[in-house]
Structure 1
């Protein structure tokens, strides 16, 4: 398909043809030796000839002198280009350049009368001719940004421009990368082994969610994109890998909103010889490591709240909190009465399962008020069939969910390793599942029957953690290329 044209693109395409007619390749296969812009700025004024390259961010013409600003990933520097310092071909080429073009330059460094470090250009090479104009974003002397590229749909579709023009976005994704590196570093240094488990699965499990369905042609077999990595990782714990984790993509074929994406990054870790209390400590340590990597202190501001990340985090009992905030003993209500309340609150009309109803009501009454880092603990067994029951209260499980600023960030259990009990739970889930069709993961159950040591397990939504640590309002602002509706 041809490039869509308007007068600006047509003008650039004409220049592109003219450059080729000069015998110059507008897209040469390699870049001459160069130094980062930051190196030039650190070097300062010098008669030594240095080379750099970058995208043209500004251009000001004054007769036989042209001032340009170029930028790369390390910074921005001014170019001083005078006709007497360039050969005729270089000067002619300069007249065919536009904002957004990428060039290589060579020259000494000097400071102008206005105090600006500049490259006195003696050689110029075109590396890339941009045929589509780049929006011009200006920052005034007070630091105010004008003509910012801020339309969410546009920047999600054209992340290259977002990263090019919006320093805050660029810094957010740099922070995300450093956060993930720090999480891995913390776990690796404490004896955890990172593994990779299947993304295409014959039987999906480890969470209550709708999967994406696919088909494996050569085996004529229906398969699913994973919704969690839990069952495979616990098989490894049973096999003797007693500290194991996976940090990767999971997929859930459900709704999209400010905090949910169909494709998201999740950390799951499992550790033998510990329990959900040990997972609380792990979560606190991971948050500390991630915050340090993101360059934020023990207190971060998110959605207008000052969030203190200093451990230990608060513990909030599930049943007591729901009773207090709702003013009702909802666990004593019938399923029909709970369904009526959920419907009247506008939380959904097609929810009939008791655990889902209680979870919805907790999210409505309690979750928005959990601002400081907190562990919601003591979940009733009907909401947590995969967790171990407390020895002194079989109606309560050893499970927690971690919340910050009203966002659920983590879920953790003392893992169920009773194979007989686990089989009953999974068979019941499978019997009511549209996709599982009564089929359970017998290979996982086989591992439990061989024997899995007592263990704690923890899952963390990495995208949401990045939201908190970088101040992102939407999960899409933490994902480089979020899923979008097709353009009409």
Structure 2
């Protein structure tokens, strides 16, 4: 690294020695590259021809001709060209990747395109490493992940996917606010992690000499807002789980969680299908997307099927007729490990292995075994089940939702049962403070958590969650570090 920095220093000093400042403090523009590009796209540039404009962007292509030099400037996913006199002295110091400004008349070229004819040229930031060739980035290379900012410049599809994810987040936010939900923050650092069964990241707070945790879910704090009298709350933001890294998992991921007083899991189904439809329409202009070989239509209503019926229809097994030994044999054949056998949990594992990948069109799978979660209200009509659903599309789980448990005694008992059913690092910790908060009264409530990144994968046709997360977690050894 020292040798690289020495080369960069030498280049910067040579520029300053020639009277060229490579890093000026600011630059005033009248028309951004994005604005000029949009006016051109809408055929609205002709009235501006002859007017003096000032613009700036990254130089992504330099085309030299005997009488003119064309430089493509790039900004925020858009490009616009400038024309420069070959005798312009500053051209000697500009290469691809530099940030360049230009001021001059807007003209129409002989080919019918538009350009800014630079009367003045400015070097705004020197790229001491030349930008790799446009569009030639290797998505499987260490460079692609290590220098993600550069990859977003070179890979138009990556940039579009990240933009679309951002637009989905904004559209969901708007859809929930329209329905009277208040976006409200919860702590990222928590003394007891909860709201999901997952391994947390642990940190130590030196000021109080205690171990705390990065949240794995905002659930228990959002429910406290319901207890506090906020009737509709939600939060969009990052969660942290110290677990798998693969095509569907990243230890830091984004979710939307929402809770509504006086609602149940049926209301949450309607809420999800409506807001997802609206978010996709806002981000893509359509709720029908191509994902792999499938065309997925997110228009409401989505299909609803019980977990047991899904096992019968898609998995070819009848859970009511399977013995415990038969379930164990099937899981063993499917290479699904179970540290301790429990029939309800085993049936969910069987569903995950046999059914999930077959749920291509948006589908709500509901009524799960009561052992599947300690935070859900028991089913009002079906003993042994809880009022829970998960939403699927493209073969991926997109959401998890409950009619929320608000009985403090049952909540305490379910937490204790969880400790008995699972190893310590897989069970929901018993949060005494939350149980006590619940004892002061929480109204009937429906809650839902939606995976933003997985929905963005389907919306943009991405094969991996890494393709929609701007800066995914990658082992340093894989980056060549």
Match in the other structure for 2:82: 79
Please say if residues 60 and 74 of structure 2, whose CA atoms lie closer than 8 Å, have aligned partners that are also in contact.
Answer: yes
Distance 1:213 1:15, change over 3 A: closer
Listed as ranges, the matches of 1:66-215 within 5 Å are: 66-73=69-76, 75-83=78-86, 91-137=88-134, 147-151=136-140, 153-215=142-204
Match in the other structure for 2:276: 287
Q: Alpha-carbon deviation of 1:95?
A: 1.1
Q: Please give the alpha-carbon distance, in whole angstroms, between the structure 2 residues aligned to 1:3 and 1:232.
A: 51
Match in the other structure for 2:17: 21
One of 301, 317, 320 as aligned partner of 2:306:
317
Distance 1:241 1:99, change over 3 A: same
Q: Please give the alpha-carbon distance, in whole angstroms, between the structure 2 residues aligned to 1:112 and 1:303.
A: 41
Match in the other structure for 2:207: 218
Match in the other structure for 2:458: 468
Q: Alpha-carbon deviation of 1:194?
A: 1.2
One of 248, 253, 261 as aligned partner of 1:259:
248
Q: Alpha-carbon deviation of 1:423?
A: 0.5
Match in the other structure for 1:409: 398
Q: Alpha-carbon deviation of 1:331?
A: 5.6
Match in the other structure for 2:42: none
Q: Please give the alpha-carbon distance, in whole angstroms, between the structure 1 residues aligned to 2:252 and 2:126.
A: 35
Distance 1:133 1:378, change over 3 A: same
Q: Please give the alpha-carbon distance, in whole angstroms, between the structure 1 residues aligned to 2:460 and 2:272.
A: 18
Q: How many residues in Structure 1 have an aligned counterpart in Structure 2?
A: 470
Please say if residues 58 and 74 of structure 2, whose CA atoms lie closer than 8 Å, have aligned partners that are also in contact.
Answer: yes
Q: Does the residue aligned with 1:393 lie in a helix, a strand or coil?
A: coil
Q: Alpha-carbon deviation of 1:164?
A: 0.8
CA-atom RMSD in angstroms? 2.4
Listed as ranges, the matches of 1:286-435 within 5 Å are: 286-330=275-319, 333=322, 338-348=327-337, 350=339, 352-430=341-419, 432-434=422-424
Match in the other structure for 1:55: 58
Q: Please give the alpha-carbon distance, in whole angstroms, between the structure 2 residues aligned to 1:448 and 1:399.
A: 20
Distance 1:336 1:386, change over 3 A: farther
Q: Alpha-carbon deviation of 1:270?
A: 0.8
Q: Please give the alpha-carbon distance, in whole angstroms, between the structure 1 residues aligned to 2:444 and 2:314.
A: 35
Match in the other structure for 2:264: 275
Distance 1:447 1:324, change over 3 A: same
Q: Does the residue aligned with 1:232 lie in a helix, a strand or coil?
A: helix
Moved more, 231-240 or 388-397: 388-397
Q: Please give the alpha-carbon distance, in whole angstroms, between the structure 1 residues aligned to 2:77 and 2:308.
A: 52
Q: Alpha-carbon deviation of 1:332?
A: 5.5
Unaligned runs of 5+ in 2: 40-44
Please say if residues 149 and 162 of structure 1, whose CA atoms lie closer than 8 Å, have aligned partners that are also in contact.
Answer: no
Match in the other structure for 1:141: none
One of 210, 223, 236 as aligned partner of 1:247:
236
Q: TM-score, normalised by structure 1?
A: 0.89
Q: Please give the alpha-carbon distance, in whole angstroms, between the structure 1 residues aligned to 2:184 and 2:301.
A: 29
Moved more, 381-390 or 403-412: 381-390
Q: Please give the alpha-carbon distance, in whole angstroms, between the structure 2 residues aligned to 1:437 and 1:171.
A: 39
Please say if residues 412 and 456 of structure 1, whose CA atoms lie closer than 8 Å, have aligned partners that are also in contact.
Answer: yes
Unaligned runs of 5+ in 1: 85-90, 139-146
Q: Alpha-carbon deviation of 1:48?
A: 2.6
Distance 1:54 1:365, change over 3 A: same
Q: Please give the alpha-carbon distance, in whole angstroms, between the structure 2 residues aligned to 1:256 and 1:73.
A: 30
- Write the deviation string for residues 338-365 of structure 1: whole angstroms up to 9, x where unpaired: 3443232223375645444322211111
1:30 aligns with 2:19: no
Match in the other structure for 1:143: none
Match in the other structure for 1:234: 223
Q: TM-score, normalised by structure 2?
A: 0.91
Q: Please give the alpha-carbon distance, in whole angstroms, between the structure 2 residues aligned to 1:329 and 1:276.
A: 25
Please say if residues 202 and 223 of structure 1, whose CA atoms lie closer than 8 Å, have aligned partners that are also in contact.
Answer: yes
Q: Alpha-carbon deviation of 1:29?
A: 1.0
- Write the deviation string for residues 409-463 of structure 1: whole angstroms up to 9, x where unpaired: 0111111111111111112324555369996212211122111111111111111
Distance 1:340 1:317, change over 3 A: same
Please say if residues 19 and 93 of structure 1, whose CA atoms lie closer than 8 Å, have aligned partners that are also in contact.
Answer: no
Q: Alpha-carbon deviation of 1:252?
A: 1.0
Please say if residues 149 and 166 of structure 1, whose CA atoms lie closer than 8 Å, have aligned partners that are also in contact.
Answer: no
